[in-house]
Amino acid sequence: MKSFLGQRAIASAISLVALIVLVFFLSRLTGDPTTLYLPVDASLESREQFRELHGLNDPLIVQFGRYVGDLIRLDFGESIRRSEPALDAVLRAFVWTLQLAVITMALVTAAAIVLGSLAAFKVGGLFDRIATFFSLIGASAPDFWIAIVAIVIFSVNLGWVPTSGTGSVWHWILPISVLFIRPFGLILQIVRGSMITALSSAYVKTARAKGVRNRPIIFVHALRNAMLPVITVIGDQAAALLNGAVVVETVFGFPGVGKLMIDSILQRDFTVVLAAIFVTAVAIFLMNILIDILYAVLDPRIRY
């Protein structure tokens, strides 16, 4: 296991380095920050002083070398827009995104496993058809469209929940509900397919022949062996939730790392963009390693 974790750590580090290099140089293509932070009629001297202050006058390769040197010391630089350490701004926003992702994935996982298992128990039945219909719709619907429609219906027309912010529990309902739909539809389908295979296996038929009741057959005998492909999808969807909540956070004004990243790109706040991508990438890499460890825990036949 130690050798496996070491190999995964090395592979993740290589991917992280490649990502940082790519984002560093691409972010510089967004334009000159002086056009945003200085008046239109600012003098050339003022613009040069601004660039010099933030290290933008040096050639790109020199800027990159300086950034890598600082990064080794875990110094992500200072935000141009906020005049504070970029890492502090990112970690503060990442806490919001992490809370949103954890709550959403906990609800998605519980609901998808229970409903997917029940749908697989009687394939073609009424419950199976209803669950499959709604899960396919949820897996196919675009998040941004659902978010806008939800705001129009539940916030503007009905006035049940706020349109944005995080001031109370009511502010969390729409973001969680919108983020819930797509992963729920995908995971439910995987659970259903895996459970259909598991319920048709010999050991389940033996348990039924011994008179074991349906509930232990579904949630004890079959579910454990059906969880391996489900865990993979759960891990992928959790990573996608951390990485892809950008649109939903922006639509609902949720102060997460996704919205911070979009705002920083528009504001050409390069240090915050790089810090946000670094923190998000590290979280995703750690999550993938955790999923691999869970594989070994659930299936002792797996040897890394």
3-state secondary structure labels for all residues of 187-198: HHHHHHHHHHHH
Residue 39 lies in a domain: no
Rounded distance, CA 148 to CA 142, Å?
10
Average pLDDT over residues 19-43: 71
Residue 244 lies in a domain: yes
Residue 1 lies in a domain: no
Q: For position 282, what pLDDT does the model report?
A: 84
DSSP string, 159-221: --S-SS--SSHHHHHHHHHHHHHHHHHHHHHHHHHHHHHHHTSHHHHHHHHTT--HHHIIIII
Is the per-residue pLDDT at 31 higher than 70?
no
Average pLDDT over residues 233-246: 77
Is the per-residue pLDDT at 227 higher than 80?
no
Averaged pLDDT of the chain: 79
Count of domains observed in the chain: 1
Is the per-residue pLDDT at 244 higher than 80?
no
Question: Where does residue 245 rank: exposed (0-12), middle (13-18), buried (19+ CB within 10 A)?
Answer: buried
pTM: 0.76
Residue 66 lies in a domain: no
Q: Residue 184: which CATH number?
A: 1.10.3720.10
Residue 59 lies in a domain: no
Residues in the chain: 304
Rounded distance, CA 53 to CA 46, Å?
10
Average pLDDT over residues 21-45: 71
Q: Is the CB of residue 179 less than 8 Å from the CB of residue 246? A: no
Q: For position 288, what pLDDT does the model report?
A: 78
Q: For position 281, what pLDDT does the model report?
A: 83
Residue 111 lies in a domain: yes
Q: Alpha carbon 18 to chain centroid distance? A: 20
Q: For position 107, what pLDDT does the model report?
A: 92
Rounded distance, CA 144 to CA 248, Å?
6
**Closest C-alpha to 259, from 175, 153, 150:** 175
The residue with greater pLDDT, 59 or 160, is 160
The 10 Å Cβ neighbour count of residue 40 is 5
Question: Where does residue 108 rank: exposed (0-12), middle (13-18), buried (19+ CB within 10 A)?
Answer: buried
Q: Is the CB of residue 247 less than 8 Å from the CB of residue 143? A: yes
Confidence of residue 35 (pLDDT cuts 50, 70, 90): low
Residue 23 lies in a domain: no
Is the per-residue pLDDT at 113 higher than 80?
yes
Residue 123 lies in a domain: yes
Rounded distance, CA 30 to CA 258, Å?
18
Rounded distance, CA 80 to CA 83, Å?
6
Is the per-residue pLDDT at 153 higher than 80?
yes
Q: Is the CB of residue 20 less than 8 Å from the CB of residue 274? A: yes
Rounded distance, CA 282 to CA 50, Å?
32
Confidence of residue 39 (pLDDT cuts 50, 70, 90): low
- What range does the domain containing 135 cover? 86-298
